[in-house]
Structure 1
Amino acid sequence: NDTYGHLQGDILLKNVAGLIRSSLRKVDFVFRYGGEEFLVLLPSSDLQMASSTADRLREKLAETTDPKVTMSAGVSIWSGEDATHFIQKTDHLLYEAKGRGKNRVEFQKGS
């Protein structure tokens, strides 16, 4: 938004959302979670599959968006906790990825 303006920023967000949606299975879900953040739910995926999906999305966004977009992600597995706690632990991993240099995937350890 600062570089290209809000209209271009909105167009880019729509393009990113479409690219994510088209890269997922029919059983998966993508939601805009905040500003430029998206929440992707991958039912019936283990941690390795979810991490691979996040890395594939990260690479695809870097290759196909104009202007170029990088992606940081947090990946965790639902362990029966309530939705708020699940999102918080995943969001913590996202901030860890951003803190470690951005454009990377951090995943839940010990699962």
Structure 2
Amino acid sequence: METRTDCLDDLQLDVDLDSTVELLNQELGHKLNWRPVGSLQRLEGFTDPWEKSMLKGREVLPATTLRSAGVASGDIIVVVRRELIAEAWQIVGENDEESSSDEEDGW
């Protein structure tokens, strides 16, 4: 399994402080052309949320409004998104013979 970390430039959004963190994340995703969370591939056993939002070093839950989280104008909210990137895969059989997805399909 491979991981990749992308650090993006700061992005300013004009948001209503009565909107939720979840709506903020959706607006951010739309602006950055991220795939919707509902369309992401989930590995069996992976139950963690795809996105986490942090304000001043503490996690802010998706249903929390920005106002109740204590967000003020000019505050920085850090959003961390995890996404499975399936670029290639292998099957290891009982005899430890490896075959790639291309070999299985005859490519």
TM-score, normalised by the number of residues in structure 1: 0.26
Larger radius of gyration: 2
The higher-RCO structure (CA 8 Å, 6+ apart) is: 2
**Going by fraction, where is helix more abundant, 1 or 2?**
1
When normalised by structure 2's length, the TM-score is: 0.27
